[in-house]
């Protein structure tokens, strides 16, 4: 039974789209979607003039276009992106458009992502001098955007400016390091490249988790700006937890303990930072760390199952409980209110249950996919074995049967007519050479040395079925004089012609083995309409009609070389693969008769 393919769900379709466009562009388009939604909401709310926030969209779309363009023309796109950033800053400053802050103050998340991508492509693909100049121009444009989008020079305080410079330096180093590492390197020759490729594959396989972590980090950057750098240790812990969560499929059990340790450190240092009550989060654990914890729970449950994962999940749950008790209340003391604790416990249990359920669902899907793949492999192996068995029986057995028949005739005529025996020995030699060549082709096929895209024995069957049949009959390996009637078009499908040759070959082999006293055989190969083959029904196409008959009688003794019983089985399999029909049995005159009808067009014979 053929394996049933997995259904194309929304997740599989989205995963295929992400793999096709790549993770960088997927992140860019996700940031663009976020900015469009956020800007639209800000433009339509009751705070400030309506519709003025839409003034951010032209610069956002222009930066997105430059980042996409950078994949083909990195240097030119980088210069254009820097110009767009400066022009957008002047436009915002002139019309007093209120920009929001993301990783960098007053710079949208799409502009940040687009700038990082342009720096990466320029540093990797442009010449060294050109790359230095273009990256420098992008850095200057970024500084203009950060400091120029405030109403006045004194509106940006020292803490915010220092944080902007620090985060800008990290954003600059982030794309430059892998770009310089991959610069002028062959992907398969550099082990560092293979490491980055594996990290990229991990990220592509977990794009929902990467997206959630990215949006959570965006908001945590905003909290860090509002805390005047006191929240930087918490932000650093969140970044480490996010990286561990993305890499967790490699070693999920250790990753879970790593995230638990990061959460413990974050919860322990938070009371000493004098942060607001709602920072990092009203529940005491930053949103990024919560999402990272859910991600590693999903991965460890998916990889090891719940029975082997619950001790580590218990450790993570204890750390989350500790953080909630220590940091979910005002800085004056620990949380002891039963009502607050019950709400936090319910929320944590709900998130944990969702994570475990997703992990078990993915584990079940992986098991189903493995079963489907194994079934497909087993079906392919079975089909390959059946094809090899048919070729072995039809080709090699045909030559061996001819050798046995010729040897028997030579032995019987050796004393009366020695010259006939000598001629028979020559034919035996030719049949043996052909049998040896057929065996070599079969061995080459089984060893995987056959030419790609070719059948194992396609070199025996040419595109001219008529010539192949004449060569087969003239070789007379079956030992019975044979005549033919051929009416074949020149454009016969190759697969139909090859199968037809094998059917006639096996039929003549059976004549030599089973037709006792046969003095002649007759082969018919012609193209007929469906009306002729179906007894006058409406014609829907053409079929190849094969008929092999002899005038022998059923043998009373064991045939030469014995009978394996697979001849008709292989013939029926060949005909069934082409949606044709086969009949075999005694004819009216007592001889054996084999007939086959093979459709010439795909889809014929389905009824």
> Among the three residues 173, 199, 225, which one is the final residue of a domain in this structure?
199
Buried b (16+ CB within 10 A) or exposed e, 193-216: beeeeeeeeebeebbebbbbbbbb
Q: For the chain (length 607 residues), average pLDDT per consecutive 10? A: 52 70 82 89 80 89 92 89 89 84 84 91 86 87 83 59 78 82 56 60 72 78 68 84 87 89 86 64 78 90 86 88 74 63 82 89 85 80 71 64 72 71 74 72 62 43 78 76 87 82 84 78 86 46 87 64 64 84 84 88 48
**What region does 582 belong to: left with phi over 0, alpha with psi -120 to 50, or beta?**
beta
Contact 390, 570 (CB under 8 A): yes
Asked if the peptide bond before residue 152 counts as cis, ω within 30 degrees of 0, the response is no
Same domain membership, residue 514 and residue 383: yes
Determine the longest span between alpha carbons in the chain, in angstroms: 123
Q: What is the CA radius of gyration of the chain?
A: 38
Torsion of CA 387, 392, 398, 400, to 10 degrees: 180
Same domain membership, residue 20 and residue 131: yes
Is 355 within the bounds of a domain? no
> Among the three residues 141, 176, 199, which one is the final residue of a domain in this structure?
199
> Among the three residues 199, 222, 246, which one is the final residue of a domain in this structure?
199
3-state secondary structure of 305: coil
pTM of the model: 0.50
Same domain membership, residue 433 and residue 308: no
Same domain membership, residue 552 and residue 435: yes
Of 504, 498, 490, 322, residue with least CA distance to 398: 504
DSSP string, 475-526: H-TTSS-EEEEEE--TT--HHHHHHHHHHHHHHHHHHHHHEET---EEEEEE
How high is the pLDDT of residue 458? 42
Same domain membership, residue 310 and residue 263: yes
3-state secondary structure of 447: coil
Containing structural domain, residue 509: 377-599
Q: Model confidence over 443-455: pLDDT tens digits?
A: 666 665 554 334 4
How high is the pLDDT of residue 94? 80
Same domain membership, residue 229 and residue 100: no
Q: Model confidence over 255-306: pLDDT tens digits?
A: 899 999 988 888 888 877 766 555 556 667 888 889 999 989 999 998 888 8
How high is the pLDDT of residue 287? 85
Same domain membership, residue 319 and residue 227: yes
Same domain membership, residue 523 and residue 580: yes
Same domain membership, residue 222 and residue 172: no
Is 353 within the bounds of a domain? no
What is the number of domains present in the chain?
3
Helix orientation angle between 252-269 and 232-247, rounded to the nearest 10 degrees: 170
Same domain membership, residue 403 and residue 325: no
Question: Where residue 594 sits, what CATH number does that domain have?
Answer: 3.30.565.10
Is 451 within the bounds of a domain? yes
Same domain membership, residue 138 and residue 29: yes
How high is the pLDDT of residue 451? 46
Is 358 within the bounds of a domain? no
Of 199, 570, 191, residue with least CA distance to 395: 570
């Amino acid at each position: 039974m053929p394996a049933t393919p997995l259904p194309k769900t929304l997740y599989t379709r989205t995963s295929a789209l992400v793999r096709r466009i790549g993770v960088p562009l997927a992140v860019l388009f996700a940031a663009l979607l976020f900015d469009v939604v956020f800007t639209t909401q800000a433009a339509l709310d009751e705070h400030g003039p309506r519709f003025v926030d839409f003034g951010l969209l032209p610069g956002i779309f222009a930066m997105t276009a430059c980042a996409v363009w950078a994949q083909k023309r990195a240097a030119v796109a980088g210069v254009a992106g820097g110009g767009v950033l400066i022009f957008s800053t002047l436009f915002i400053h002139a019309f007093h458009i209120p920009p929001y802050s993301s990783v960098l103050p007053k710079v949208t998340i799409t502009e940040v992502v687009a700038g990082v991508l342009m720096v990466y492509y320029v540093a990797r693909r442009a010449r060294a001098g050109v790359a230095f100049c273009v990256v420098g121009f992008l850095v200057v444009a970024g500084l203009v955007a950060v400091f120029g989008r405030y109403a006045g020079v004194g509106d940006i305080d020292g803490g915010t400016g220092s944080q902007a410079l620090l985060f800008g330096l990290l954003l600059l180093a982030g794309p430059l390091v892998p770009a310089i590492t991959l610069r002028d390197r062959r992907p398969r020759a550099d082990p560092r490249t293979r490491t980055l490729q594996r990290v990229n594959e991990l990220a592509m396989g977990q794009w929902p988790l990467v997206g959630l972590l990215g949006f959570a980090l965006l908001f945590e950057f905003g909290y860090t700006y509002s805390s005047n750098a006191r929240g930087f240790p918490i932000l650093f812990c969140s970044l480490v937890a996010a990286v561990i969560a993305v890499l967790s499929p490699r070693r999920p059990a250790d990753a879970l303990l790593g995230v638990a340790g990061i959460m413990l450190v974050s919860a322990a240092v938070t009371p000493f930072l004098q942060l607001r009550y709602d920072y990092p989060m009203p529940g005491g654990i930053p949103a990024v760390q919560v999402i990272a914890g859910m991600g590693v729970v999903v991965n460890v449950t998916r990889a090891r199952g719940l029975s082997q994962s619950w001790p580590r999940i218990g450790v993570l749950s204890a750390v989350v409980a500790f953080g909630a008790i220590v940091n979910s209340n005002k800085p004056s003391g620990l949380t002891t209110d039963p009502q607050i604790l019950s709400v936090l416990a319910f929320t944590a249990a709900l998130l944990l249950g969702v994570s475990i359920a997703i992990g078990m669902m993915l584990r079940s899907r992986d098991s189903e996919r493995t079963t489907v793949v194994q079934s497909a492999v087993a079906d392919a192996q079975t089909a390959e074995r059946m094809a090899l068995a048919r070729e072995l029986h039809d080709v090699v057995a045909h030559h061996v049967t001819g050798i046995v028949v010729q040897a028997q005739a030579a032995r019987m005529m050796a004393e009366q007519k020695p010259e006939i025996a000598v001629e028979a020995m020559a034919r035996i030699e030719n049949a043996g050479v052909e049998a040896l060549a057929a065996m070599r082709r079969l061995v080459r096929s089984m060893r995987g040395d056959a030419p790609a895209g070719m059948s194992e024995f396609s070199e025996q069957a040419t595109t001219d079925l008529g010539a192949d049949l004449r060569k087969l009959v003239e070789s007379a390996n079956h030992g019975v004089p044979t005549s033919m009637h051929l009416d074949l078009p020149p454009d016969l499908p190759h697969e139909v012609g090859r199968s037809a040759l094998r059917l006639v070959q096996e039929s003549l082999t059976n004549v030599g083995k089973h037709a006792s006293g046969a003095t002649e055989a007759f082969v018919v190969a012609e193209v007929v309409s469906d009306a002729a083959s179906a007894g006058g029904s409406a014609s829907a196409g053409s079929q190849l009609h094969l008929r092999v008959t002899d005038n022998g009688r059923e043998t009373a003794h064991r045939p030469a070389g014995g009978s394996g019983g697979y001849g008709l089985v292989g013939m029926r399999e060949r005909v069934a693969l082409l949606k044709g029909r086969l009949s075999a049995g005694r004819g009216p005159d007592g001889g054996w008769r084999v007939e086959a009808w093979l459709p010439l067009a795909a889809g014929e014979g389905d009824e």
